[in-house]
Amino acid sequence: MNDISTNVAFWVLEVWRKMNSQLQVSAFKGTTAQGSPGSILSTDPNSSIISLVIVDLAGQNREWTISLEGARFMFGVVPDATPFPEFAEGIWKSFLSISFSDGRVLTLGERYE
């Protein structure tokens, strides 16, 4: 996994939006993790905001708008051995990890079609 700039991260997010990429969205805070299928609705690098559609626990689509202001970004292609168990199935192309100053981490994994 490599550190990337905010500009490169928003470029990746915009490419995924344009391609309507199937994503796995995983949010981590300490030892608690929550994951959902999702896709990107919009990106706004000028205000550091993205909007996602995720599937909630009831199976309903929900829009989630997130500020990425001050976040740290890492991008990688999923190797054969991945540190993320949810990406170990061999159906993932790449992932973007977003770390927030409060300890939260949001990881977006791009699925193979």
The domains of the chain are located at 2-111
Higher pLDDT, 79 or 106: 106
Higher pLDDT, 35 or 25: 25
- State the CATH architecture for 2-111: Roll (2.30)
Quickly state the pLDDT bin for 90 (edges 50, 70, 90). low
> Rounded mean pLDDT of 42-57?
93
CA 79 vs. chain centroid, Å, equals 17
Residue 68 in this model has a pLDDT that exceeds 80: yes
Give the span between the Cα atoms of 112 and 95, in whole angstroms.
Answer: 12
Give the span between the Cα atoms of 69 and 44, in whole angstroms.
Answer: 11
Residue 82 in this model has a pLDDT that exceeds 90: no
CA 94 vs. chain centroid, Å, equals 10
